[in-house]
Structure 1
Amino acid sequence: MDIKNLFVSAWQHTVTFIGPVLLVTFVQMVLIVVSLGVLAPVTTAGYVQSLLLAVREGRPPEIKDLFSQMKLFFPLLLLFIALAIVIFIGFSFLVLPGFVAAGFVAFAAFYLLPLMTDQGLGVLDALKKSWEIAVRPPITDHVIVAIVYVAIMSLGGSLPFAFLLTQPLATFIQVAAYQERVALPEKRETPQPMSAPPPPPPETGNEIREKSE
């Protein structure tokens, strides 16, 4: 995976769809605030799928896309609550375990939403598949992409209205990485070729005489 081209492509898609993507990003944030976060998981799933289609088909994101994955409302809500509890417990004991838990979630579940929206996988199957994609070699590519994604999203949360630009940029990076990583061959054990049986030992003089008799 060409990391540089992936980041350049994500930026180009952000610029290309800047108008529609700013509007969809703003509307999603309003929905999250109004719903007190309840709509965050399912609208994020719709948001991710919308930007994935923008990359794949050149289709501008639309507001209605945010509601395109409502069938995943309860599974995603329960999953996000469970993950939030795990991370909260980690931070409540010590800061380091909280960061470890958050980092592991970012690493292992990075492709969860694209797998659920694009391939129709359930939560558990998507988690398993996301982990398999994450650890496919070269694993360093995935680590770099995940770190950059988290850094961009963190930057968006620390500056007023920066999320309008950082969220679509980070999501374009996510879906572009998803498309490339999911196309990589799975790591399989290479079967060892069967060696030819050794040739029979040469016949001795006695064996030749016995056959002639």
Structure 2
Amino acid sequence: MTEHQPSLFSAAELSGCYAVTPKTELEISRSALSAWKQRIFDYQQQVKQQLPMQQGSLFNWSDQLTSNPAPDVIDPDSLDPFGLPQQNTEFWRWKAEDAGVAALYFVIDYEWPILLYVGETVKSNQRWKGEHDCKRYLLNYRQAHYQYQLQSMLGIAFWSQAPVQTRPRQKLESALIHKWRSPFNKENWQFWSTPFIGS
């Protein structure tokens, strides 16, 4: 005699609660992936080379005005995402002492290097807990590299001097997305024909 355990829920009640989706490979060839990264690298290298020079002044009052801008007004050209300390993209899994600070963050493939994503947060240690679309893009990106045995070195860098107020921080984030044309930000998907945003 076999024991039968009754179900608490009917099949109709359980439908839609979970689904197993078949794993599909990303539809991008090895050469297309390499060419895509090369185009982004070339563009971002031009951006790095075109950073404006800071002009000094003969008069102290002028220097004071330029060194003490209005609060929360930051020149996007003064920020170099590639020069910030690198962290693992799984940082959010580690136990943090506090919630963190207002920050901008940059997801970078340090192998090339190319800036893939620009984001902003009010709590740097909690931003990626839970759902975040960029985690899926990184998974797809990593899988494509694994599929073709190509190297990648994904990392994240935080800039903790970002404006505390939300609107100025978002305005700076937007300026940096536009400047670097980071391909994982939706504002630039059409520009790069970003292939990693699918489910």
Range of TM-score over shorter length: under 0.3
Point out the structure with max Rg over C-alpha: 1
More strand by share: 2
TM-score (norm 2): 0.26
